[in-house]
Structure 1
Amino acid sequence: MTEAEENGEDATVSAQETGPVVRLLDLSGGAEDNIIEDIKGFLDAEHANAFARAYVRDSIEICRVPGASARDTLEAWFSFGENAEVLGTENPWVSSGELNDFIDRPATEEERDWRLLDPRRYESEEEE
């Protein structure tokens, strides 16, 4: 649960005050309300969209088994994967717009490197 949710705030309202927020969702249903985490600290909407896109690409690749069909990969992702949605921007990236392409075409390492785009990475560097 995020700090905003603990205080009774909606993540969308929080995003309007702090900038874009990327909400990570557990498609397996293992997390409360399927929400894993709300990530803040993005420089702008483009940064948040790029992070969400890379995060979903990586999740799909983790679910992809060598030799599996596109349908099998999609079913595995919906059963075990993680999705991401961008909150607090006018034109948020949504996975449904690119999902078929992601399933049909395996991602390169660069396309799935969400860690490079993760704003939490800068927070830990500042603390050191």
Structure 2
Amino acid sequence: MSDLFAPEGGWRVRILDLSGGAQDNITEEIGGFGTLMHANAFARRYVRDSVERCRVPGMSSKDVLEAWFAFGEDAVVLDAGDAGWKSTTELGDFVDTRASAEERDWRSLDPRQDEFDLEGDEE
């Protein structure tokens, strides 16, 4: 697949439950990303947030990593091949360094955010 063209329906990101609580470890698939860059940025921030949710004050990097593999969520950009973001390339940095709020903000990149906004806006 070419990096220039999104698959029909847009790029998709698969969320994987590392705790094994979901069938085939798949929690959900999120579609509608117009560009590969958008899908990659979402996946990166989603995993970054997951790592931070596993972090407890005083944990070593090794402890954070073990907690993430036991309880965290990974994200994979489907059909992107080598052009898709992979958690393995940055996981070491993620567990070593706390994330800023912006680095964790996957919600602002979620193509479903308009659906979420509408739920609370109507009176």
User: Who is 2:107 aligned against?
Assistant: 115
User: Who is 1:61 aligned against?
Assistant: 52
User: Who is 1:42 aligned against?
Assistant: 33
Is the 8 Å Cα contact of residues 70 and 104 (structure 1) preserved in structure 2? yes
User: Who is 2:95 aligned against?
Assistant: 103
Report the number of matched residues: 114
**Which whole-Å CA distance do the structure 1 matches of 2:115 and 2:73 have between them?**
23
Deviation at 1:85, TM superposition (A): 0.3
Is the 8 Å Cα contact of residues 19 and 88 (structure 1) preserved in structure 2? no
**Which whole-Å CA distance do the structure 2 matches of 1:52 and 1:77 have between them?**
15
**Which whole-Å CA distance do the structure 1 matches of 2:18 and 2:105 have between them?**
20
Consecutive unaligned residues of structure 1, counting only runs of 5 or more, are 1-14
Once the two structures are overlaid, the 10-residue window that deviates more, 26-35 or 37-46, is 37-46
1:21-100 maps to which residues of 2 (within 5 A)? 21-89=12-80, 91-100=83-92
Identity value in percent: 62
Query: TM-score scaled to structure 1, two decimals?
Result: 0.83
**Which whole-Å CA distance do the structure 1 matches of 2:46 and 2:112 have between them?**
14
1:6-25 maps to which residues of 2 (within 5 A)? 16-25=7-16
Q: CA RMSD in A?
A: 1.7
One-letter code of the match for 2:25? N
Q: Secondary structure at the match of 1:18?
A: coil
**Which whole-Å CA distance do the structure 1 matches of 2:38 and 2:92 have between them?**
23
Query: TM-score scaled to structure 2, two decimals?
Result: 0.86
Deviation at 1:125, TM superposition (A): 4.5
Deviation at 1:33, TM superposition (A): 0.3
Consecutive unaligned residues of structure 2, counting only runs of 5 or more, are 1-5
